[in-house]
Structure 1
């Protein structure tokens, strides 16, 4: 989990390509860059959510400027894994700007919710207390930034216990967490990961089973397509099988964990499949752009936007 957070801090972030209706600072960025080929706001079919810092070369370091820049590019959501670590005043400022721009707040990570040193599979009181305290603080953070989703990772295997016993411990802990989040209208989304085989939560079907057992609207699946391509493949069938328990999607191509079109995953087909299935079931999702860039600098930011325009160009 620590490795994953470090990667996100250094490789991910937010904003897009300077288009029409720019603020003064953004117009200056476009005038000096000379590399932004798209004119007019992109009309994405899905709620793609960049991170702060993803387009920092074009939008600058100020977080509010970055939000404005994202909106100018047609992005309708953002996610910020490190939101709980920001000052409450900044959380509120971000929430107000998102509201003004008509953007959705995606996930942030419930810090210390589960990792190698604090695993919910172990059934240790001190670990459970840390997790539940994180859920309580997440409620307050969510109020400030208008969030509805927060990422939870149960932590590592407890290798000295049978897998069924570990699973029971995780379910019990998540039920306790759901009791805190559900009254606030919040949902923790459980993320199966591929970072290390020591992680307890690895596949979408395993996560589906756990969500069914927790049996709460406050506990759903975060289906990260990058991780699931590595761990189980067969992406569209797995999405179909787990559909009723999926609450959120994240994106990253494989290999490389960069923008769509840079690896082996056919995101255009996957996006169309989710779009059609969501429309038929009257559902909507945020798609977190939890990946890096294949090209450095402003050119890489332009290439990233082009990749999303291409992948979002499916027929409806």
Structure 2
């Protein structure tokens, strides 16, 4: 198996370029991040070039974090801001050669939010196509993100079908799916053709994948058996220094 370090959580105490080097030094095959915008993309690209790692993806901006926003693209009153965030994410991704952009829906509900999300995703897919990028959407569980518009894999599939464009996929986060739905093995098999990236963390504490209610030895074997061969995203919250939580990586690599 190959693994990607999500630098939104792993080595989050380091500047992003330094975190990229740390991920390489400790055996990761790729990296990904949440919101890299505080860092010069030239510095990030230099770190990627020096390490030979690929930045798999990044998120669109959350919006007004102080006001509690967590994404903009399903908010009917924020269409212009949502598309500006999409444009900014695509520009940053282009500068560092990242191939995936997670378009965050935000806190919303109802048919108007669904329609606006679909329209903004079509905008994102059209813009991303010119640089060969893929748009991702990710359900977030109701315990960590109560009120988030996109909460389940089935809802995500309905949105993918409504957008109906070739460069949009599901980001399947095993942690979020287990928290909301369970049945990971069958969900992975059923959705394998819709998945653009897979992430993982222990459940329910979102720690390293070496404890909790999910048997990741089994889940990783299921993923392997399905023919999925891209790096899996370690998006977990270390319960101390990141380097002290990496025994699982040595074992499964």
Q: In structure 2, the residue corresponding to 1:249 is in which secondary structure?
A: strand
Moved more, 47-56 or 187-196: 47-56
Alpha-carbon separation, structure 1, partners of 2:84 and 2:27: 36
Offset of residue 93 of structure 1: 2.0
- Is 1:143 paired with 2:94? yes
With normalisation by structure 2, the TM-score equals 0.86
Q: For the Cα contact (< 8 Å) 2:106–2:149, is it kept in 1?
A: yes
Alpha-carbon separation, structure 2, partners of 1:213 and 1:183: 21
Q: Aligned-pair RMSD on alpha carbons?
A: 2.5
Alpha-carbon separation, structure 2, partners of 1:62 and 1:149: 21
Distance verdict in 2 for CA 1:270–1:230, change over 3 Å: same
Q: In structure 2, the residue corresponding to 1:104 is in which secondary structure?
A: coil
Q: Give the aligned length.
A: 248
Q: In structure 1, the residue corresponding to 2:226 is in which secondary structure?
A: helix
With normalisation by structure 1, the TM-score equals 0.70
* Largest Rg, 1 or 2: 1
When you count helix as a share of all residues, which structure comes out higher? Answer: 1
Paired residue for 1:305, among 205, 224, 246?
A: 246
- Is 1:152 paired with 2:103? yes
- Is 1:131 paired with 2:82? yes
Alpha-carbon separation, structure 1, partners of 2:82 and 2:72: 9
Alpha-carbon separation, structure 1, partners of 2:217 and 2:5: 17
Deviations 1:179-200 (A, max 9, x none): 1112111122111001233111
Paired residue for 1:77, among 13, 23, 30?
A: 30
Q: In structure 1, the residue corresponding to 2:170 is in which secondary structure?
A: strand
Q: How does 1:1-316 map to 2 (within 5 A)?
A: 45-51=1-7, 54-55=10-11, 61=14, 63-86=16-39, 90-112=40-62, 116=69, 119-124=72-77, 127-158=78-109, 161=110, 163=111, 165-194=112-141, 195-278=144-227, 284-294=229-239, 296-297=240-241, 301-302=243-244, 304-310=245-251, 312=252
Mind listing any 5+ residue stretches in structure 1 that lack a counterpart? 1-44
Alpha-carbon separation, structure 2, partners of 1:236 and 1:308: 21
Q: For the Cα contact (< 8 Å) 1:148–1:187, is it kept in 2?
A: yes
